[in-house]
Amino acid sequence: MAVRKILTYPDEVLRKPAEPVADIDGRLQQLINDMADTMYHAPGIGLAGNQVGAPCRVIIFDVSAKDEPRDLCVVINPEIIESGGEVASEEGCLSVVDYSAEIKRAQFVTVKGFDREGNPVLLKKEGLPAIVLQHEIDHLNGKLFIDHISRLKRELYKRRLRKKLKEKRPRRL
């Protein structure tokens, strides 16, 4: 198992839709293990395959409290088949550094997909787990949570990020 590099905005891989998983094999199992190590190390509560440079439709998440045992959930080829209600909550992202914003999402979702053994799963979630599922499935579709904020706020974030990236560049002599 290994901790992988988490790609950050504006990396183009984050904007490309991920490909469906055709085979649940040893390489996919290794990816899932690496994603778990990476997510827990970050620390985060969710991660999509394309965030670690693997553009395949795999998400993991764990919304258990810090004082509870870990409860990793893996969903391969997730698809939201039902959603409803609306809730606004503060979101951040391991791929969008140093920024969080209030985002409106569905309050509950039903997601179908497969577990890491290839068994069909049907998840009916509300609250934080529903928000995390929507956030991670957005990643698989090439969307970031900043796509849900106003254009003005998004432009302000981009400007701040460009300035920060410019400051990190070494000076050329």
Residue 127 falls in which region: left (phi positive, over 0), alpha (psi -120 to 50) or beta: left
Token couple for 166: 């410019």
The predicted-structure confidence for 137-150, as pLDDT tens digits, reads as follows 999 999 999 999 99
Rounded to 5°, the CA angle 128-50-10 comes to 95
Domain residue ranges in the chain: 12-168
Q: Rounded to whole angstroms, how far apart are CA atoms 164 and 75?
A: 35
Mean pLDDT of the chain: 94
Query: Dmax over Cα atoms in the chain, in whole Å?
Result: 58
The predicted-structure confidence for 8-45, as pLDDT tens digits, reads as follows 999 999 999 999 999 999 999 999 999 999 999 999 99
The model's pTM: 0.92
Of 12, 136, 155, 167, the catalytic one is 136
To which CATH superfamily is domain 12-168 assigned? Peptide deformylase (3.90.45.10)
Note the pLDDT of residue 114.
Answer: 98
Count of C-beta atoms within a 10 Å radius of residue 151: 7
Task: Tell me whether residue 79 is one of the annotated catalytic residues.
Answer: no
Note the pLDDT of residue 169.
Answer: 64
